[in-house]
Structures are given as structure tokens and as C-alpha cells.
Amino acid sequence: MNKDTLEKQLYDEEAETFRNQLATVTDDGKRKWVYPKKPSGRFHRARIAVSAVLLLILVLTPFIKVNGHPFMLFDFLNRKFILFGVLFGPHDFHLLVIAMISLIVFVILFTAVFGRIFCGWACPQTIFMEMVFRKIEYWIEGDSKDQRKLKSAPWTGSKVFKKFSKQIIFFAIAFFISNIFLSYIIGIDELIKIITDPPSEHLQGLFAITIFSGIFYFVFSNFREQACTIVCPYGRLQGVLLDRDSIVIAYDNVRGEPRKKFKKDEGWENRGDCIECYQCVEVCPTGIDIRNGIQLECVNCTVCIDACDDIMDKINRPRGLIRYASLNSIQNPIRSGSDGKTKWRFTPRAIGYSALLSVLITVLFVLLLNRTEFSVTVLRTAGLLYQEQPNDMISNLYDLNMVNKTFDEIPVTLKLVPRNPLGENIEGELKLVGNQIVLEPQGNLDAKFLVLLPKDELTKMSTPIDIGIYSGDNLIKKITTSFLSPMKKKDE
Ligand code: SF4
Ligand code: SF4
């Protein structure tokens, strides 16, 4: 089949009618329940292994502590985040914004090059749905045919037992998942308290767990693939993120068409390799036919690759009729490697995204490297110049703001390190409004202080002074600011 015919076939209006409605919705708008066939094969085995590792990481991470604090915490309510043991708070908002923009650009770049690999291999929704809940369903209700039969069977004791036990197990797992996710928000210690203390002491926490459990239970027992096809914004953005060079799970229509039922005594002339067995459709958890081309509903779960490879083995044809490939590599095989595998091409689009991402990551790294755990701002109080004080002293009033980004309480003292134009010390005094400053962990503190210097020593209208911030005897920060004084008369 030549390229023009293929293009025509691909964009033929009739062939595109599948795009007019979702595979999981009937003509009259009702939900079409998907009963995917039990998957098997090399990609599925690999995904089971990857999912097991990711689930283990998800469950164990809340228990990891660094110096007694969580390794990861996303406390949105108190705007406190701990990433890899480092505490970030509201004062790090700029870092969060740059990190978020970098993440979005990374996702765009990754998707433009590798399609929806994340959806199939690492998305929590797919992992929980396909590797946990669906497996339990197969275990209790059997493969797709048995599930269909059970659905239409009368409510016998066995059906009641199967249906109820499945729902109870589903709810128990949803409850477990909600506890795990909550531990990322409130911390594992707080979660253990909620579990072990009398319920009346943690009504808010219990309320949150109940709501989370209900949502997870509804999503995995009922809503299912619709989370990917209707709700997920990432899935809906595929149309703009993918291009003809993106590597996706694709049906090789050059090799597969024209499709025809397989008959043992017929040869392979004048026909494609697709034998219309529908195995790729029967295993699909979103109910689509990948032979129609790239579709929003495809979560790149790879099970259609395994199903088709199995068929190809049985009919003695090469594997890979459905495989990871770009549209261009299928339609222009010359651009592919001699082994028929897709040659990766760094497209101008990918170059542009990579350049932008490099800039963002560099900025983020520079900011992170220069990030201090303690920040201080000293400003002369607005609207005031200087005040004449008894004993020929001049005073300036200052506003002080300090942010403690650590987990520890920091008692702070301020000392004046005044200097004259030659850099020599000027004897002066620093008076704090209030006696002592104690910075709470992750605290933000505002205070005022006065600096008094002898009038005789001040030779200029503005004298630079240093203020030392001490914790005990340790100088933790030195701030340079200016001290205003009256203009010296000529004879003085
Ligand atoms: S599994 Fe392969 S051979 Fe069977 S219908 Fe799908 S693409 Fe064709
Ligand atoms: S088309 Fe294939 S990869 Fe896409 S969701 Fe269906 S089975 Fe998974």
C-alpha cells in the first residue's frame, strides 16, 4: 500500500467516525462497562515488576525520616513541604513556581518524545486500577467472559458472595490507600495518632480519611477508566502534546492492512498481517481499537502489544504489528533503522523544549544552592530619618524581619558592629524593642530596634553600619545597613 493511499485511509471521513464518540459510551449516552480480557505477556510482566517497586516506594516513603523529620511531606494546609528531607515553606514560593514550571516543561518534552509512557508505567491511577483492583476482580470473578456471565446471572448465593466480598476488599484497599496518601499530607506520626487515639480526639482526621476512602473506592470500583478518558487533564492534552515523531503504542497499518480473517491454507499475498482476531480490542482496559490510530483514550498500557505478539507467534508472523513506534517511523520506514526499529529523532520542537528546560533547571539549581536556612531583612523604618537623643547621641529606628527555615528553635541576639569611614569601630548601642528574640521552627518574626551612635563620631550624613545576628556566640548572619545623622556644620 503506497503512502497516499495510507494517508487517505487514515483521514478518510468514514474511517474517522470512531472519534465521534467514546468507546465506553453507547449511542444513547449510557455507560458501556468494559470487561477487558486478562492480560499476559512480556510487557505485562515487566509492568507488574515496575508497579510492585513503585507501590513499595509509595507505601514505605512516609516511614522514612531524616533527623526525626519526614523525608517527604506535602502539608498543603500549613503550606509546609519537605522534599528529600529539606524543609520548604511559604518563603520559598518562588522556588515552587520555578519547579512547577520546570515540571510542566519536562512533561511536555517527555510526552512529545515518548508519548504517554508515564500513563502506562507509572501513573498511580493505572497502577492501582490494573495491577491491584483489576487483579482482585479477575481472582474473584474470573476472566472477562466469566464476569459478563456473572453480571447477567440471577442473584444466587454464590453471586452475592462474590460481589459483596469484592466490594468489601475494594473498600478495604481504598481505605488503606487513603491512609497512605494522608500520611504524605499530615505525616506518619500524626496518622498513627489518628489510628490509635480515641476517634473523638481526631474527628477532622477521621473525616478526611472517610472522604478519601469514599473517593478512592468510587474511582476504582465504578468510575475506572473514565478517570483517564474524561477527567485527567494530561490525557486530554495529548492532541497538542504529541506529534508524528512521538513514540506511542501504535498499530503498524503499513504491515497490517488490508486486514483479513486468517485461513490456514491461504498465503500472505495481497493482504496484511492483521487477521481481525480482535484480541487487541478485547484486552484493552479503555475499550478502544488501537488499529484506528492514536486516540485520547489510549493509556499506553501495552497489553494490546502482548495480545497481538501472542497472535503473531501463533500464526508464525514477526512480532510487533502493534508496538512502540512513531507515526512517521511507520509511514516512512526508510527513516527507521535497518532492523525496522524506530530511530529516535531530535525534532526542532524537542530541541526548543530542551533548551527552555535547561535554562529553568539551571535557574532552579542556582537558587537552591544559594538558599539559606535563615534569612534576615533590616530596613530603616519608613518615614523616619534620625532622632536626637540625650548625651549627644543620634538614633535610627529599624524594622527587622527574620525567617527561620529549619526544624529547630533559634534564640537570637543582635549586636552592633559600627564603623567609621576608615573601617574602625564606633562605640554605639543597639536597643531591641523587647528583650530577646526566639525564632520558632519555620517561624517568621517581625521586630523593631534602635541604634544609637555618638554624634561626634558621625562625619557623614549616612554612615554604613554592620549588625551581627548571633545564636549564642555564633555569628549566623551579618547585615550591612546605613545610619542617618544630621549634616556636620563647618566649624564642628
Ligand atoms: S491482535 Fe493483532 S492481529 Fe489481532 S486484530 Fe489486533 S492487530 Fe489484528
Ligand atoms: S490501545 Fe493498547 S495500549 Fe492503549 S489503552 Fe488499549 S490496550 Fe492499552
pLDDT digits (tens, 9 = 90+) for 35-81: 999 999 999 999 999 999 999 999 999 999 988 889 999 988 888 88
pLDDT at 11: 47
Query: Which of 9-18, 237-246, 293-302 tops mean pLDDT?
Result: 293-302
Q: Which residues line the pocket of ligand 2, CB cutoff 6 A?
A: 249, 283-286, 288, 290, 298-304
Helix (H) or strand (E) holding 472: none
CA–CA separation, 171 and 159 (whole Å): 18
What average pLDDT score do residues 108-127 get?
Answer: 89
pLDDT digits (tens, 9 = 90+) for 395-436: 999 998 888 888 888 888 888 876 655 556 677 888 887 667
Where is pLDDT greater, at 467 or 340?
Answer: 467
73 in ligand 1 pocket by Cβ < 6 Å? no
Task: Please choose, from the candidates 439, 417, 419, 441, the residue with its C-alpha nearest in 3D space to the C-alpha of residue 430.
Answer: 417
For residue 182, the number of C-alpha atoms closer than 13 Å in the C-beta half-sphere is 24
Residue 201 pLDDT level (bands cut at 50, 70, 90): confident
- Average pLDDT of the chain? 85
User: Above 60 in pLDDT, residue 239?
Assistant: yes
Name which residue sits closest to atom 7 of ligand 1, judged by CA. Answer: 274
User: Above 60 in pLDDT, residue 490?
Assistant: no
Cell of 50: 515496575
Residue 491 pLDDT level (bands cut at 50, 70, 90): low
* DSSP labels, 400-434: EEEEE-SSS-EEEEEEEEE--TTS-----EEEESS
User: Looking up cell 468494559, which residue turns up?
Assistant: 34
Residue 167 pLDDT level (bands cut at 50, 70, 90): very high
pLDDT at 489: 58
Q: From the CA of 249, how far away is ligand 2's center (Å)?
A: 7
User: Above 80 in pLDDT, residue 264?
Assistant: no
User: Above 90 in pLDDT, residue 128?
Assistant: yes
Name which residue sits closest to atom 1 of ligand 1, judged by CA. Answer: 308
What average pLDDT score do residues 251-262 get?
Answer: 88
Cell of 103: 515540571
Name which residue sits closest to atom 3 of ligand 2, judged by CA. Answer: 300
CA–CA separation, 90 and 67 (whole Å): 22
Q: From the CA of 220, how far away is ligand 1's center (Å)?
A: 28
Pair type for strands 387-389 and 410-418:
unpaired
Pick from 47, 291, 302 the residue to mutate for probing ligand 2's pocket: most ligand atoms within 8 Å of its CB.
302
Task: Please state the pTM of the whole predicted model.
Answer: 0.80
Amino acid at 319: R
Residue 91 pLDDT level (bands cut at 50, 70, 90): confident
Helix (H) and strand (E) counts in the chain: 18, 16
Assign 301 to helix, strand or coil: coil
322 in ligand 1 pocket by Cβ < 6 Å? yes
What average pLDDT score do residues 309-335 get?
Answer: 86
CA–CA separation, 378 and 454 (whole Å): 21
Assign 275 to helix, strand or coil: coil
What average pLDDT score do residues 230-248 get?
Answer: 84
CA–CA separation, 186 and 200 (whole Å): 18
Amino acid at 74: F
- Report DSSP state, residue 63: G
CA–CA separation, 31 and 189 (whole Å): 42
Q: From the CA of 288, how far away is ligand 2's center (Å)?
A: 7
Q: From the CA of 261, how far away is ligand 2's center (Å)?
A: 22
pLDDT at 9: 52
Residue 146 pLDDT level (bands cut at 50, 70, 90): very high
What average pLDDT score do residues 332-359 get?
Answer: 72
E-strand spans in 84-218? Answer: 86-88
